[in-house]
Structure 1
Amino acid sequence: MVGVILTEVGSASRETVANALSAKITDSLSLFLSSEQVRQVDLSFYVFPEDWDKEGVRDPKAHPNLAPVRDPKKVSLFVKRCIDILGSSLALIVGSPAFVAIAIAIKLNSKGPVLFRQQRVGQYGNRFTFLKFRSMYVSNDPTIHREYVANLIAGAGDPEGKNVYKLTDDPRVTRVGRFLRKTSLDELPQFLNALKGEMSLVGPRPPIPYEVERYEIWHRRRLLDVKPGLTGLWQVTGRSKTKFDDMVRLDLQYARSWSVWLDIKILWRTPRAVLMGDGAY
């Protein structure tokens, strides 16, 4: 696809401009392709802003931003909520021995509370108290994470493009905390968030307020369509090794194609992603 910006071109001149562009492109292609190959090249032109007729735009594929987001039926949303309640309740009951063991390990390893509470941004920008098992020392400096998030969103992380969504070798993390993060056991208290309806089992990860301040306009779309979740599409594909923009695209893809069956498939794949430990820090 070749993009050309034309300024001050009236609608009456569009056909003339298209013919001139076609001739120029054909001449350029002739320098590298045979005449037979050039004849096989199909050129299409789209002029923006486009004149809409009564039936809408000429080719909807040229306007991906106009593609409607499928509005899930209330029954499907009700089923999703039931899965959240049942799944969270079961996890809290079955995992209660692990909760106790983790709490003891945290208290023996470092001073401070067992749970880490933090304000996160949920659906429609509503804030809620996000729960995790504490994996860091208390009274740590958040500046290091603020700077990291700013660089990550700006795409200025790893020069090789292997950005990760979590800090590696974070000096604020305790010895027990490293194990909890590696195994994702620090995320277990979020079943309480899901049970309360602040989160879902499946959905985009809830961002920190200072993270949202760095968002581009299109990034904010991930806060609108669905509730945040414990796991999601990008977690089971790349976990923390997914680039930020790619992570947002996967979140938007999830929101656009959401179904109960998709949630079930993501939940099914999550344990393997956790056990593999790829991209977890």
Structure 2
Amino acid sequence: MSRQRPRIASRVAVSPTKRLFDIAVAGFAILFLLPALVLIAFAVKLDSKGPVIFKQRRSGLNGRQFHIYKFRSMSVMEDGDVVSQAKATDLRVTRVGGILRRTSLDELPQFFNILKGDMSFVGPRPHALSHDKIFSEQVDNYELRFLAKPGLTGLAQVRGFRGEIRDACDIENRVQSDIEYIENWSFVKDVKIMLGTVRVVLGDDNAY
């Protein structure tokens, strides 16, 4: 059964507090981490052929498309009608890319997505467009995820629903967590999710 649009969704999308927090923290993080960003960029470039930054189309707030930024971690870059998920023994992952993916350092360029307003620090993680199409046919209310800006992290990730999506149950758990986040959003919850993300990243083996 389809669920109605969460009343609180408009607060998530237009909250000035959330946006100001995103701008301030993303701007500070970019300046503070600039030396690390440069070193990672050199490592990616020296390790394998291809661009330093990987760009892929994703759906954001209200389904508006944008290009998500990541440090390139694979030798093959996909952004078409078929995008293959990364797996634990994926031969496309480069040597440096494997380290970046396990530590989530490949996601650091998304600070620029946050600064631009395409993303927020906390929200539903955006999927490749081809995956959106598949998942929307598998999970009821999947489209409700687009009532908030996509996030660098989210409630689903803090709960351990990250990494490869192996079956319908995996994506259902993520979507239900995303909708729960939108329905019960508050700035305090955003802060708790960000703090929880640090713990998950340091102790999780699902990223590869």
TM-score range, shorter chain: 0.7 to 0.9
For 1:139 and 1:236, the matched residues in 2 are separated by: 27
Number of equivalences: 200
Q: Is the 8 A contact 1:111 1:138 kept in 2?
A: no
Instruction: Report the CA distance between 1:140 and its aligned residue.
Output: 6.7
Residue segments in structure 2 that go unaligned for 5+ positions in a row: none
Q: TM-score scaled to structure 1, two decimals?
A: 0.65
Q: TM-score scaled to structure 2, two decimals?
A: 0.87
For 2:69 and 2:5, the matched residues in 1 are separated by: 36
For 2:191 and 2:185, the matched residues in 1 are separated by: 11
C-alpha RMSD of the superposition: 2.6
User: 2:175 maps to which residue?
Assistant: 248
Instruction: Report the CA distance between 1:278 and its aligned residue.
Output: 3.1
Q: How does 1:2-151 map to 2 (within 5 A)?
A: 65=3, 69-70=7-8, 73=11, 77-138=15-76, 145-146=83-84
Give CA deviations for 1:227-249 in whole Å, capped at 9, x if unaligned. 00100001111142571110000
Q: Is the 8 A contact 1:239 1:278 kept in 2?
A: no
Instruction: Report the CA distance between 1:139 and its aligned residue.
Output: 5.7
Instruction: Report the CA distance between 1:269 and its aligned residue.
Output: 1.1
Q: How does 1:101-250 map to 2 (within 5 A)?
A: 101-138=39-76, 145-146=83-84, 166-214=86-134, 215-216=136-137, 217-223=140-146, 225-240=147-162, 243-250=170-177
For 2:48 and 2:89, the matched residues in 1 are separated by: 18
For 1:264 and 1:96, the matched residues in 2 are separated by: 23
Identity of aligned residues (%): 44
Read off the aligned partner of 2:28 and give its amino acid letter: L
For 1:143 and 1:253, the matched residues in 2 are separated by: 29
Instruction: Report the CA distance between 1:64 and its aligned residue.
Output: 9.1
Q: Is the 8 A contact 2:54 2:71 kept in 1?
A: yes
For 1:257 and 1:244, the matched residues in 2 are separated by: 20
Q: Could you list the runs of 4 or more consecutive aligned residues of structure 1 that deviate by over 6 angstroms after TM superposition?
A: 140-144
For 2:190 and 2:160, the matched residues in 1 are separated by: 17
Give CA deviations for 1:128-171 in whole Å, capped at 9, x if unaligned. 1110000011467979844x5xxxxxxxxxxxxxxxxx522111
Residue segments in structure 1 that go unaligned for 5+ positions in a row: 1-62, 149-165
Q: Is the 8 A contact 1:239 1:273 kept in 2?
A: no
